[in-house]
Chains A and B, each alone.
Chain A
């Protein structure tokens, strides 16, 4: 089976090996084409973002303004902080040059002279590996001023590695940009979107590391080739990271649309001890979980997962066996989003903490049946009302885990017998007209 992102070639991460395998030739061919041609190729290839939202990469590039004197930027998102996701790390380790080459092509296509590859701070080792590859590429004239000569083009760009410092939210595109600018990683209110107002207020495109790494093969082999791989609506291979209760966890590059059960049983070696599966989260911890008894026939691509009420996310598959305490799992997930909420906007700042407090109470056996519905309404009140998608990411696991595994939660709660008085804030007083004009 074809490996696009993680070819099984020994020492492929080394520049000489990469060159021996036609490395940087896609870039060379890209420079013989117009930027429109490249964007068109990427559009037609059907490549969709691998960072979670699965948005068309070519379409995203086409949003970049053409006649604009402002400097343009490319951000490559390697913040990879969603629990259950550990795929970009493999690219940084095993195929950094293809990432660099993809970055060069993307820069050329959108007219960016600078690209920042944002890698999460904890990846010290992988940042060093990427930096080494980048230094080599600079030295050999594949990046920077010298690339003009190397590729015989008048285009050149610089690539910089920016190291994060421990903040999940910086995987959100506008937080990532604020972070590069040296600010607190607060998401920005959108619109304006990055293509209009990104890094330092300039047009910016942001793509995931895996998305960018797919670019050189697409340029090299053509969109027809790529679009024929896997599911037509979400073509190509996907790096599936399997973790949890499986015998052989790890990252598997497989065509989109591969059966979830095949990934778990064929590639990841099946469940430890031959146990049954209780729950699978298919795309990183924020994605709606699937019941173990409903995995049959589930295909791993954006559209198929949508059809079964989940989403592809980052392709991080978390497998939980029949003995797993889902109340504890959900409490742990809630703790993560509570810890990582930036605190900028109200629903997420307050709601994540509230959900965690209730779930911790459930874990301690102090929950009541009313808490379950309360949790769902809190999640719904966060969802869609926040500045960025972290609100949804925090809400979905709670909402869907309780809805789909209600019996697990019912089992740990007591009936409502509390005699404590309600915490009354005030009496209700809706008036047609405000009592007095409210000050600004």
Chain B
């Protein structure tokens, strides 16, 4: 491979790479605002100016193609002077309202001001004023004064989403960003502009003023919105999820995620209707009870039905670990055949960017583990539609419903569930389906447990707990911690976060199996995964460390090749 020398260090580059790309791949960060690895080069911020031997003027490293033997200085006196100059220019009209700016703490301008600026302003004139608090769209707020006109947001809409939506108007220092009059920034990916905005000009309206970023702890996990499984960070403070941001994974979602995933996949975690502790229906009301009482009740009820009078339906968003134990329990312990998974495909809802029609996170997992939804499990059992019709006709009298609100999904199922003699659910929240339940077990949400999902590409990816339940401890369980989490005491108001009495589904199933006399030895999701890895050839060689932060592509012939987005 050809080589260039940056700051005296010889590094290899791929032909065609620019200096900034080559530097970045070799761990040399050249400061930049407008350049973004996934967007076209605009060259407007001028911060990435470097000195290259035999070139008379400084050049921008984002648009300079590396050539064999090129000698680049990123720290020479000239470069530092130019960088200071650009930083000064950017700062003169910037409002410097970091104390009230959501971006503070994760702001490129703020970081660079500390790293690359002289620290004192020579600007004593009145700053330019521009429009503030512009609702560019339902999810994004714009502050014209903070904007540094880097055009990342415009290029994102043009190049990644393919919808123009944003443009520069006017010229000189009057330039600002806007939508066309009467139109909005409302593409399904609009909020990504808040991530790539290097300053606080574009902010997330849902998250605005909710928290300083350093008060939150980010957890590397996976979006639960669809079968894509976008890699995300789940941000929590005081045991509450406050926002989701996409996490780069070039094999899955690059730097992006959809607005729906960002906005609509965490609010149920914080909701007041969470099921906390097991509940039994007594005199028409669901009343909180102890775990043993709930297990005993379930055992005695289920034993009163014949095997072909019982069915189980599970969400196809269960983790691989949950799926494994549920199917083991149903097949071996209950020795039941009427067992299927609920597929959630919304025709026409997908696109060519990220969003999948399949709204479940692990349908591929069921397929690969041999419990493909819609097909009977081990031969002879009933499929989903048959289970429903058997309930309707009264042939099935008892149902185990796992992490699925059937009625919420399709209101027509209300009259189906009302026909049952016995309904036990494993639910994260009280919902339309639990209102028919006789027993409700409190399930941990995806934000409260470890596990894995297999996305539509056949890529296995880890979810991690970001929110604690009563049986978890943030520090002991190795969860990410903000300063609040680390240093909060019983005397601080933020130390008294609400914790739910909920358990991951595999653990609830494990308890139930125990009531039926079958003891599973698992104490952590990871142990289940290790057993799967030993028994299923598809998972050979995998463990949680191997799956890691970016997931692993399983070797299946049905798997699609690397997606390009």
Contacts and interface: CB of A to CB of B under 8 A. Distances in A.
Given A340-B172, A438-B112, A374 B122 contact: yes
Contacts of A440: 36-37, 196, 248, 255
B122 A431 contact: no
B353 interface: no
B36 A347 contact: no
A346 B96 contact: no
Given A342-B171, A343-B149, A387-B44, A423 B86 contact: no
A116 interface: no
Contacts of B43: 189, 345, 387
Contacts of B525: none
Contacts of A427: 119
Contacts of B487: none
A350 B92 contact: yes
Contacts of B106: 439
B159 to A, nearest CB: 15
B497 interface: no
Interface stretch (A132-140, A236-244, A324-332, A351-359): A351-359
A339 B47 CA distance: 24
25 contacts: A169-B171, A191-B63, A342-B172, A343-B172, A346-B86, A347-B85, A350-B89, A350-B93, A350-B173, A353-B172, A354-B92, A354-B123, A384-B58, A385-B85, A387-B46, A423-B123, A425-B96, A425-B117, A426-B114, A426-B119, A428-B118, A434-B29, A435-B111, A439-B108, A440-B36
Contact of B119 (A345, A346, A352, A428): A428
A273 interface: no
Given A189-B60, A341-B171, A345-B43, A351 B115 contact: no
Interface residues of A, number: 49
Interface size class of B (residues with CB under 8 A): 35 or more
B115 A357 contact: no
7 A-B pairs closest in CB distance: A428-B119, A381-B85, A343-B175, A189-B43, A350-B89, A357-B125, A341-B172
Interface string B113-130: 111011111111110100
The interface centre, meaning the residue of B63, B117, B122 with most chain A CB atoms within 10 A of its CB, is B122
Contacts of A339: 172
Contacts of A345: 43-46
A293 interface: no
Contacts of B123: 354, 423
A386 interface: yes
A358 B122 CA distance: 11
A344 B125 CA distance: 22
Contacts of A342: 171-172
B322 to A, nearest CB: 33
Interface in B256-276: none
Contacts of B89: 346-347, 349-351, 354, 381
A435 B124 contact: no
Contacts of B113: 425-426
B210 interface: no
A429 B112 CA distance: 11
Contacts of B90: 346, 350
B57 interface: yes
Nearest to A422: B120
Interface string B413-428: 0000000000000000
B131 to A, nearest CB: 16
A418 B106 CA distance: 36
Given A184-B168, A438-B29, A425 B60 contact: no
